[in-house]
Structure 1
């Protein structure tokens, strides 16, 4: 019996919650999964899983084996990735999930370079501001922003951007320029309703912290909608520098209250739990990370 394959099967069963679900994930029949687990338990001489009407439960030995098996699988995969990444171009299909505006502004304009580097690679890019189920959608890697709530996910922070209060010169000419966070209560705020947004904006300066409850007549659930509303001079908003970097450079959008700091926003590469990180996904994340770093070093126009 292939020891690594048996570990992968066991980890898949634990994380999928049943033999049948693991079989679907691994494209194997349930009898093959059951046989593999039985052979593994026989070879180890311990019971790893207990079946009940409520599903599968790991024994103490099963929990210890699961923890070590995941580590062994990860290390084996990393060894393969190093060799493959160094010796050959990538091929096959890479499925990526990413936020709409960020990807259109900072990834898609540079993606041709990555594809030219790997002519046998195809990318299926799903643009969505929501946090989807990576396993259910068959996603290899997702680019997510903000604080990650699900601690079970495999994730790596690849970049960080400051948040700013932004609006157009036309809006500020009409409504006035806020001089302090408290002035924001008299402004129309465009509220981003996804996680990381909301109506409570927290500022800090020289050790002092101020929280302002803003109000506005417009709430949007997608960052692209917030961009459009700000550019249409409908109000001001809190957004990452990434969100308006072209307009901030051109002057079409202005940042105010710049002597105050808002919590920065992190960009994470998130990989589906229980699956090996492919060389394709790893290379793509490295490309995005480098592209953003190069962009930060490029002087503003």
Structure 2
């Protein structure tokens, strides 16, 4: 049995979540995948995966083997890149994680350019406003906003975006334009219930600081919901410039209380713990950093 092929098959099984998914990814028959995993388990003398009605999950030994096998495959890819020379394009598969709205506005539209530069590279984009486990999901690089809770992750700040109180002209025509942060207490707030959101909004102007607790009839758990509610003239929201970049440019929404500063949002590139970022992850991170520096987000 080819050990590298077995490793690549096992990694594909874990990342696809099934033998059939791995078979499609590898363009082989499902029996070949099942046979490869069975032979690998026999050679190692341990069970690597468990099947249940809910799908396929790695055992503890399988999770450990997955992490090291994926690292070994990436290091082999790195070695081949070095051998071929710096001019060679990237190849294989890159898994990227990002929040849904940020990816829709600022990552996915730029993918065509990146993939054109690297025609032998495929990209999986894992979209989730929640924090995902990079190792468990097989993610090579994740783009996350705000304060980092997990200090064990390898991280690099690549951009910073200002935040504003945002609403539509139609909403402000009906509810009035707040003149001070305190006026927000009488407005309908669209409350974002993820990290960095909530009902306590803090402002700074010069040496003065103030905070207001807002209320509203709409609470949402994803940025897409914040956008939809604001664009439906339902209220105001505190949002990063990236979240409403097209609408701020067109005038479909407007920022108010701009003389008061809100804490900015920082964008971080996160890499799995315990291994060097792959050439693919580093190249894509540099590409996104460059693209954001030329766009609405300020470079870090």
Provide TM-score, normalisation by structure 2.
0.73
Which residue does the alignment assign to 1:174? 174
Which residue does the alignment assign to 1:140? 140
SS in 1 for 2:295: helix
**In structure 1, what is the Cα distance between the partners aligned to 2:86 and 2:128?**
32
Q: CA offset at residue 107 of structure 1?
A: 1.3
Q: CA offset at residue 80 of structure 1?
A: 6.5
Alpha carbons 2:245, 2:296 under 8 Å: kept: no
Write the deviation string for residues 63-99 of structure 1: whole angstroms up to 9, x where unpaired. xxxxxxxxxxxxx99x969957833110000001111
Q: Give the alignment of 1:22-171 within 5 angstroms.
A: 22-27=64-69, 83=82, 86-171=86-171
Alpha carbons 1:85, 1:279 under 8 Å: kept: no
SS in 2 for 1:217: strand
Alpha carbons 2:163, 2:239 under 8 Å: kept: yes
Q: CA offset at residue 267 of structure 1?
A: 0.5
Which residue does the alignment assign to 2:216? 216
How many residues end up aligned between the 2 structures? 234
**In structure 2, what is the Cα distance between the partners aligned to 1:201 and 1:254?**
18
Q: Give the alignment of 1:9-20 within 5 angstroms.
A: none
Distance 1:153 1:81, change over 3 A: farther
Write the deviation string for residues 237-295 of structure 1: whole angstroms up to 9, x where unpaired. 00000110110111000000000000000000001101231100111101100011111
Which residue does the alignment assign to 1:203? 203
Compare 83-92 and 231-240 and name the one that shifted more.
83-92
Write the deviation string for residues 180-222 of structure 1: whole angstroms up to 9, x where unpaired. 0000000000000000110000000011100110111111000
The question of 1:255 aligning with 2:245 is answered no
Distance 1:85 1:105, change over 3 A: farther
Provide TM-score, normalisation by structure 1.
0.73
**In structure 2, what is the Cα distance between the partners aligned to 1:120 and 1:190?**
43
The question of 1:234 aligning with 2:234 is answered yes
Write the deviation string for residues 150-196 of structure 1: whole angstroms up to 9, x where unpaired. 10000000000000000000000010000000000000000000001
Distance 1:186 1:147, change over 3 A: same
**In structure 1, what is the Cα distance between the partners aligned to 2:182 and 2:257?**
11
Alpha carbons 2:81, 2:88 under 8 Å: kept: no
Which residue does the alignment assign to 2:38? none
**In structure 2, what is the Cα distance between the partners aligned to 1:179 and 1:262?**
15
**In structure 1, what is the Cα distance between the partners aligned to 2:198 and 2:100?**
19
Which residue does the alignment assign to 1:294? 294
Q: CA offset at residue 296 of structure 1?
A: 4.0
SS in 1 for 2:289: helix
Distance 1:260 1:110, change over 3 A: same
**In structure 2, what is the Cα distance between the partners aligned to 1:153 and 1:100?**
21
Alpha carbons 2:160, 2:267 under 8 Å: kept: yes
Q: Give the alignment of 1:179-198 within 5 angstroms.
A: 179-198=179-198
**In structure 1, what is the Cα distance between the partners aligned to 2:80 and 2:158?**
19
SS in 2 for 1:108: helix
Q: CA offset at residue 26 of structure 1?
A: 2.3
5+ residue gaps in structure 2? 1-59
